[in-house]
Amino acid sequence: MTKKDSTDKLLSIITKSAEDKKATDPVILDITRKGRIIDFMVIVSGESTPHLKAIAKEIEAQVKKLGIVGTIWEGTVDSGWLIFDLGSILVHIMSEKERKYYNLEELWGKEAVVYH
């Protein structure tokens, strides 16, 4: 399996896991041309603190099934913004309020959106 194939599979698992927990407005941003540290960002929203927690737990569980270890979580559900660092992929799980305020999609531009 090539790096692109494994990255595509991981992106698919992340978005499916989030959607299975009813995350809203999932977006994948391809920032390979703009970023040097990461290649993709996945951004999803949740409607409440328990909802954010459920989304995060499901994504983490599915990633662990792939044998990926050494991942890093930043933020707390109470802050309304969690970041899951998977190396070349960053997953942002945000409250709708935080997502609207920080507007990460706009920061990276519409040309970076590869899934919406």
For position 75, what pLDDT does the model report?
A: 94
For position 1, what pLDDT does the model report?
A: 65
For position 49, what pLDDT does the model report?
A: 96
Amino acid at 90: L
Spacing of C-alpha 86 from chain mean position: 9
For residue 98, the enclosing domain spans 3-115
For position 35, what pLDDT does the model report?
A: 66
Q: What is the pTM of this model?
A: 0.92
**Per-block mean pLDDT, blocks of 10 residues, the chain (116 long):** 82 97 96 83 96 96 90 92 94 96 88 82
Closest to 91 in 3D by CA, of 25, 36, 15: 15
User: Tokens for 107?
Assistant: 């920061």
We report the CATH number of the domain holding residue 86 as 3.30.460.10
Number of domains in the chain: 1
